[in-house]
Amino acid sequence: FAGVLSNPRLMTVQSLIVVMNQNVTMSCCSASASPPVRYTLFKHNQQVCSLNSSDSSPALFTLTISSASDVGPYKCKAEYNSSTDGKYSNSLTFTLIEPISKPVLSSPTSHTLQGQKVTLSCFSENGSLPITYLFFKGKQSISPQKTMHTREAAVTFLFVNSSADSGTYKCKANNSFPNSTKYSNSFNFTLAEERSHSQPLIISLGLLLLLLIIGLALAIPFLIIPSYKASE
């Protein structure tokens, strides 16, 4: 005598987070079923495959996630061969993740004045969201982690108060893809204040030299004429 079918339970043997071309296995089982039971897997309400279970063990379906359309949703149907009515399981949807590309660190300007507020942006063009960014100066982080849930750059602001604040900046990015951390290019600011100290000195020396030339030009007649008269 066939028992009353309960709604089957669809589970994944692995994590629901998958990478491209990964094999996944789903199990489907109705706890109250009396074998034999026919289990059918559906994706987007389209039949994928069917298995007949002759004992109480779950039906196992193995698939390859080869594109974004393979993530689901999946459902399983349990039914007796002699029955036209079946029971459906819960729904399962996988999350497809991809590694991030090398982030790019940039700023609207690479030249700054002392005490000026500057902007640093870090952006990975490819990779599954969310992406977490962290900014560094040397090996020291300079801001809290910034997790971006949309495809846009993480931004941080800083003040360049001295030459020590002008170099070398980097950022790193990572997402849920295993071992996905990547580091950006290096970025340095040029502190314009360093060059401005020498400008007043050059101007002063130029004026002093000009005054010296003028002074000599004015003094030469007074030096030549007395010596000329003395020789007569």
Domain count, the chain: 2
Which pLDDT does position 137 carry in this prediction?
Answer: 93
Q: What is the mean pLDDT of the chain?
A: 86
- Count the Cβ atoms, other than its own, within 10 Å of residue 112: 20
Mean of pLDDT values over 204-208: 79
Same domain, 125 and 74: no
With CA atoms as reference, report the closest residue to 120 among 146, 99, 149.
146
Residue, of 134 and 56, whose pLDDT is higher: 134
* pLDDT tier at 224, thresholds 50, 70, 90: low
Residue 201 pLDDT exceeds 70: no
Is the model's pLDDT at 81 over the cut of 50?
A: yes
What confidence tens digit (pLDDT) does each residue in 173-187 have? 999 888 889 999 999
- Considering the domain architecture, whether residues 69 and 117 belong to the same structural domain is answered as no
Using an 8 Å Cβ cutoff, are 56 and 35 in contact?
yes
Least confident of 59-68, 82-91, 108-117: 82-91
Task: Order the strands of the 59-65 sheet from edge to edge.
Answer: 9-12, 22-29, 59-65
* pLDDT number for residue 199: 57
User: How would residue 3 be classed by pLDDT, with cut points 50, 70 and 90?
Assistant: low
Confidence category of residue 194, pLDDT binned at 50, 70, 90: very low
CA distance 40 to 77: 5
What is the pLDDT, as a whole number, of residue 53? 86
* Dist. CA 188–CA 79, nearest whole Å: 67
42-61 in b/e burial notation, b at 16+ Cβ within 10 A?
A: bbeeeeeeeeebeeeebbeb
Same domain, 79 and 138: no
Q: What is the DSSP string of 16-56?
A: SEEETTEEEEEEEE-TT--SSEEEEEEETTEEEEEEEESSS
Tell me the C-alpha distance between 206 and 43, whole Å: 83
Domain boundary among 49, 74, 97: 97
Of 97, 120, 155, the last residue of a domain is 97
Neighbours of 89 (CB within 10 A): 22
Q: Please check whether residues 47 and 70 belong to one and the same domain.
A: yes
Q: Is residue 224 part of a domain?
A: no
Domain co-membership, 59 together with 117: no
CATH classification of the domain holding 34: 2.60.40.10
Q: Which domain holds residue 87?
A: 9-97
- Judge whether 109 lies within some domain: yes
> What tokens appear for 59 in the block?
């039906």
- Pair 87, 109 in one domain: no
Q: Both 137 and 121 in a single domain?
A: yes
Residues contacting residue 188 through CB under 8 Å, at least 6 positions apart = 110, 166, 167, 168, 169
**Total-model pTM:** 0.56
Residues 138 and 187 in one domain: yes
